[in-house]
Amino acid sequence: MVLLATIGFGPSAATAAADPFFWDQAGLEVGGYKKLPGDKELWAKLPGASTSTDDTEYKFELACHEGDNIVQACLPRVPDCDAGDDGMAVQWFWRSESLGFADWTANSRFGCVYASNPNEVLEQIADRILSEFRSLPIDAGRLTLQPSPHTLIRANTNVYAESEEQIHEIDLLGQNVVIEAIPQDYSWNYGDGTSLGPTSTPGGPLPQGRWGEQTATSHVYTSTGDFNVSLTTTFSGTYSVNGGPAIPIPGTGTFSAEPVTISVWRSVVNNFADNCLENPNGAGC
């Protein structure tokens, strides 16, 4: 198989039509690019693998051009070569003596050719993805306390988190990157100098009739006052580039929820001698 790079080009960018033997719909995938022969650093994914033999030759020409003239009717078929790297839209041709195609035969679809290895873009995204992940506006979840906004000293106050998986879409180095954030661990600061976590248990609600029971994430306050309870949630994640496979993000991100203020009260028990039925105005009535 021989590649003939018949034209050079200046900088632009690349996304190509979907085809097993062309650039994928998004313009980037891991691996599969060939360096074309010639003086320029040109990279392409070859079309027409089904016709590939030892003597098959390929070449490309600038899409929708006849000499110096642009063929207007052809333009709607041209892919938008815009994937954050130097590239241009081309039409591929092939020929093979052994298959009986001595003349150059046009492939029916267009593609894109890059001025540098597109895999380098993926490597750059991989280098930056963790910092981008940690800078996303990921919702740490809602922090709930039972009872609230008041609780009693030396009683169990149930504390739990409600957090969900989230999808964020960003543009990174000219590529469409979709990030899925998945809650993994939870940490609570109860505001009185004590904390819990990280733990994989988010806790959960109790019916009102069971408030005061101990749970995996509950807390007992030993002094009265107002305390700010805070939650931080650690997320793991995956990312995909231009609709490609999901790739694990090499690290985690920690995000904080809105704190909740709880007022801890003291319970007081008094004994009264009055019978409220006989003396409705008596002490304690």
Report the pLDDT averaged over residues 44-53: 51
> For the chain, give me the number of helices (H) and strands (E)?
1, 19
Residue 24: pLDDT above 70? no
Report the pLDDT averaged over residues 47-74: 72
Percentages helix, strand, coil for the chain, rounded to the nearest 5? 10, 40, 50
User: Chain-wide mean pLDDT for the chain?
Assistant: 79
Q: Evaluate whether 122 touches 114 at the Cβ level (below 8 Å).
A: no
Q: What is the pLDDT of residue 94?
A: 78
Q: 63-102, pLDDT tens digit by residue?
A: 888 877 888 888 887 776 654 456 677 887 878 888 888 8
Q: What is the pLDDT of residue 241?
A: 86
Q: What is the pLDDT of residue 253?
A: 98
3-state secondary structure of 127: helix
Where does the pLDDT of residue 36 fall: very low under 50, low under 70, confident under 90, or very high at 90 and above?
Answer: low
* End-to-end Cα distance, the chain: 100
Return the closest-CA partner of residue 25 out of 34, 33, 16.
Answer: 16
Q: What is the pLDDT of residue 112?
A: 72
Residue 126: pLDDT above 60? yes
Phi and psi (nearest 5°) for 101? -115, 85
Q: Evaluate whether 31 touches 118 at the Cβ level (below 8 Å).
A: no
Half-sphere exposure of 142 (CA within 13 A, CB side): 5
Residue 10: pLDDT above 50? no
**Gap between the Cα atoms of 56 and 224, Å rounded:** 84
Q: What is the pLDDT of residue 232?
A: 98
In a 10 Å sphere around its CB, with 0-12 CB exposed, 13-18 middle and 19+ buried, how is residue 104 labelled?
A: middle
**Gap between the Cα atoms of 200 and 221, Å rounded:** 23
Residue 25: pLDDT above 90? no
Q: What is the pLDDT of residue 188?
A: 97
Which of 41-45, 50-54, 71-75, 83-87 reaches the highest mean pLDDT? 71-75
Q: 214-273, pLDDT tens digit by residue?
A: 999 999 999 999 999 999 999 999 999 888 889 999 999 999 999 999 999 986 555 656
Which of 40-49, 50-59, 106-115, 213-222 reaches the highest mean pLDDT? 213-222
Burial 70-93 (b: 16+ CB within 10 A, else e): eeeeeeeebbebebbbbbbbbbbb
Q: What is the pLDDT of residue 99?
A: 81
Q: Evaluate whether 163 touches 199 at the Cβ level (below 8 Å).
A: no
Q: What is the pLDDT of residue 121?
A: 76
Which of 7-16, 174-183, 184-193 reaches the highest mean pLDDT? 184-193
Radius of gyration of the chain (CA): 33
Report the pLDDT averaged over residues 48-63: 66
Residue 213: pLDDT above 70? yes
Where does the pLDDT of residue 180 fall: very low under 50, low under 70, confident under 90, or very high at 90 and above?
Answer: very high
Q: What is the pLDDT of residue 62?
A: 83
Residue 60: pLDDT above 90? no
Where does the pLDDT of residue 55 fall: very low under 50, low under 70, confident under 90, or very high at 90 and above?
Answer: confident
Secondary structure letter of residue 168 according to DSSP: E
